[in-house]
Amino acid sequence: MRKSAIAVEAAAQLVPDGARVMIGGFLGVGSPERLIDALVARGARALTIIGNDTAYPTVGVGRLIEAGCVARVEVSHIGTNPTTQRLMSAGAIDVELIPQGTLAERIRAAGSGLGGVLTPTGVGTVVAQDKQVIEIDGASFLIEKPLRADFALLRAHEADYYGNLTYRLTAANFNPVMAFAADCVIVEPDEIVPVGVIPPDAVRTPGVLVTHIVGRAR
Partner 1 sequence: MDAKEIIARRVALELRDGMLVNLGIGLPTLVARFIPKGMSVAMQSENGLIGFSAPPPDGMENRDLIDAGGGFIAALPGAASFDSATSFALIRGGHVDMAVLGALQIDAAGHLASWMIPGKFTPGMGGAMDLVAGAKRVIIAMQHVAKGEPKMVESLTLPPTATRRVSLIVTELAVIEPTDEGLALRERAPGVSVADIVASTGARLIVPEVTPEMPLCRD
Chain residues that interact with partner 1, rule: CB under 8 A: 26-27, 29-30, 52-53, 75-80, 85, 88, 95, 97, 99-105, 107-108, 119-127, 157, 167-177, 204
What is the nearest approach in angstroms of partner 1 to the Cβ of residue 133?
11
Residue 4 CB, nearest approach to partner 1 (Å): 27
Q: Which one, 99 or 207, has the nearer CB to partner 1? A: 99
Cβ 208 to partner 1 shortest distance, Å: 18
Q: How far is the CB of 102 from partner 1 (least distance, A)?
A: 7
3 state SS for the chain: CCCCEECHHHHHHHCCCCCEEEECCECCECCCHHHHHHHHHHCCCCEEEECCECCCCCCCHHHHHHCCCEEEEEECECCCCHHHHHHHHCCCCEEEECCHHHHHHHHHHHHCCCCCEEECCCCCCHHHCCCCEEEECCEEEEEECCCCEEEEEEEEEEEECCCCEECCHHHCCCHHHHCCCEEEEEEEEEEEECCCCCCHHHCCECHHHCCEEECCCC
With respect to partner 1, which residue has the nearer C-beta, 48 or 76? 76
- Give me the least distance between CB of 18 and partner 1, in Å please: 24
